[in-house]
Amino acid sequence: MKRECRSRTSTALTYVSALLLLVVTQAACSRATGDSTVETEAGPVRVRVMASGLEHPWGMAFLPDGRILVTERPGRLRIVSDGEVLPEPVAGLPEIAAHGQGGLLDVALHPDFAGNGLVYLSYAAQDVEGYGTNVVRGRLEGNVLRDTEVIFRAEPKSGGGRHFGSRLVFDGDGRLFITLGDRGERNRAQDIGDHAGSVVRLADDGSVPADNPFAGRAGARGEIFSLGNRNVQGAALHPETGELWAHEHGPQGGDELNVIRSGINYGWPVITYGVEYGIGIAIGEGTSKQGMAQPLHYWVPSIAPSGMAFYTADRFPAWRGNLFVGSLKFRQLVRLVLEGEQVVHEERMLDDVLGRIRDVRQGPDGLLYLLTDAPDGVLARVEPALP
């Protein structure tokens, strides 16, 4: 009898455990696929999942007809139309090395996309020397990228699967910024003969602008615009000054927000507010050094920032002029209030509502769009809550 009671109790507990698991799983799924109302300092907002089933989405770009291009890190460029991910990815992409943190990364449209149809993609590529970040451009026709050409190759290539960057941003003069990482080999970020750990600036065809700070200098890579950058995964143009703002991953702490200016050395790995992983000892020479720029803002502990957008629209009047940053580590959206080049307030919102936020963009409709880094990632939109 006792044995039977234990058996029945065990069966009942198994059933209850399974039921609880089902409830938790359903709750998690509903959080990932449905709408959520979230309180913020400016009042409630609604977070709406627009599309799901994206495999580690990384970057997005808004087409003039309302469709959205979304990159998937394993190597696919998808089109989202009316909330649906079209079943066939865009054809015509180059060979992409889905290696470590690398794969298909960012996407940007040429400033005259309406006239020339040009799409730019950053991705991890492999050659006999190893891996590195390349940029390709091609003309989008329907669901095919045609006439593709590689306009930039980060050199030298190397082994390892870390720190590829890489955001793509066109400035007001049609120059293309490409943000890179140090490839996990930190000292490369101080070498102007090495693309790693820099922000690159090119003409739209990949040629080097004559006013780049190291153009024509012997032993230098003329594409380099700034150096001493660890791993830049968020970049956006300031809506008033037109300058490039970018954030980069620190090590254990020391994520930075910077204004990227010509020829400036941002210090990595000589100076940093981060420390060595696991052991907590200082890196380099401290947190400051003459000739190396201080960040506008830094995070300790690290938030693992990715994606960035200035908010300039009217749908959220209280947020106008604010800077939004995704947090991978804390699964949040971070709002920074600015006075000039000073961060005067920080709000963290959407705590674990969506997951690891990989990209942040302001859409043509004045709403904020987010991508989540997950095997079943989503495209979500932040909207004013209904009254």
Catalytic sites, residue numbers: 163
Q: How many CA atoms lie within 13 A of 368 on its CB side?
A: 29
Q: How many helices (H) and strands (E) does the chain have?
A: 2, 25
Q: Are 14 and 21 in contact, with CB atoms under 8 Å apart?
A: no
- Pull the structure tokens for residue 261: 């200016």
Q: What is the CA radius of gyration of the chain?
A: 22
As to burial, measured by CB atoms within 10 angstroms (0-12 exposed, 13-18 middle, 19+ buried), residue 61 is buried
Q: 183: how many CB neighbours lie within 10 A of its CB?
A: 30
Amino acid at 122: S
Q: 84: how many CB neighbours lie within 10 A of its CB?
A: 11
Query: Looking up tokens 């070498």, which residue turns up?
Result: 191
Return phi, psi of residue 334, to 5°: -105, 130
Q: How many CA atoms lie within 13 A of 103 on its CB side?
A: 16
Q: Which residues pair with 62 in a beta bridge?
A: 68
The residues near 104 (Cβ < 8 Å, ≥ 6 apart) are 58, 71, 72, 73, 74, 75, 76, 77, 93, 96, 98, 121, 123
Distance CA 252, CA 124 (A): 25
- Pull the structure tokens for residue 140: 């989008």
- Pull the structure tokens for residue 168: 């793509």
Sheet with 323-327, edge to edge strand ranges: 305-310, 323-327, 332-339, 342-349
The residues near 130 (Cβ < 8 Å, ≥ 6 apart) are 156, 157, 158, 159, 160
Q: Are 272 and 251 in contact, with CB atoms under 8 Å apart?
A: yes
- Pull the structure tokens for residue 256: 């930075």
